[in-house]
Amino acid sequence: MTYLESIGKYFLMIAEMFRKPTKWSVMKHLILKDIDDLIIGSLGIVAFISFFVGGVITIQTALNISNPLIPKYLVGFATRQSVILEFAPTFTSIIMAGKVGSFITSSIGTMRVTEQIDALEVMGINALNYLVFPKTVALMLYPFAIAIGMFLGILGGMAACVFGGYTTLDDYILGIQTDFDTFHITYSFIKTFVFAFILATIPSYHGFYMKGGALEVGKASTTAFVWTSVVIILLNYILTDMLLG
Partner 1 sequence: MIEVKDLHKSFGDAHVLKGISTSFDKGKTNLIIGASGSGKTVFIKCLLGLIDYDQGTISYDGKIYNELNESQKRDLRAEIGMVFQGSALFDSMTIAENVMFPLRMFTKQSKSEMEDRVDVVLKRVNLDGAHGKMPSEASGGMQKRVAIARAIVNNPKYLFCDEPNSGLDPNTAIVIDNLIQEITDEYQMVTVINSHDMNQVMEIGEKIVFLKHGVKEWEGSRETIFKTDNKAVTDFVYSSELFKKVRKMYLQENQ
The CB-of-20 to partner 1 minimum distance in angstroms stands at 7
Residue ranges that bind partner 1, judged by CB under 8 A: 20, 22-23, 25-26, 110-111, 114-116, 118-119, 121-125
The CB-of-207 to partner 1 minimum distance in angstroms stands at 14
3-state secondary structure at position 25:
helix
Closest CB to partner 1 among 56 and 125?
125
The CB-of-24 to partner 1 minimum distance in angstroms stands at 12
Q: How far is CA 122 from CA 16, 85, 110, 117, 190, in A?
A: 17, 46, 18, 9, 39
Count of Cβ atoms closer than 10 Å to residue 122 Cβ: 9
Q: Residue 128's closest CA among 207, 219, 33?
A: 207
Closest CB to partner 1 among 36 and 181?
36
Residues 185, 166: Cα–Cα separation, whole Å = 27
Maximal CA-CA distance, the chain? 72
Count of Cβ atoms closer than 10 Å to residue 100 Cβ: 28
**Torsions phi, psi of 141, nearest 5?**
-90, 5
Long-range contacts of 118-127 (CB under 8 A, 24+ apart): 125/20, 125/22, 126/16, 126/19, 126/20, 126/21, 126/22, 127/208
Closest CB to partner 1 among 104 and 194?
104
The CB-of-185 to partner 1 minimum distance in angstroms stands at 37
Closest CB to partner 1 among 156 and 203?
203
Closest CB to partner 1 among 111 and 196?
111
Q: Count CA atoms closer than 13 A to 143's CA, side-chain side.
A: 13
Closest CB to partner 1 among 119 and 230?
119
The CB-of-211 to partner 1 minimum distance in angstroms stands at 13
The CB-of-88 to partner 1 minimum distance in angstroms stands at 31
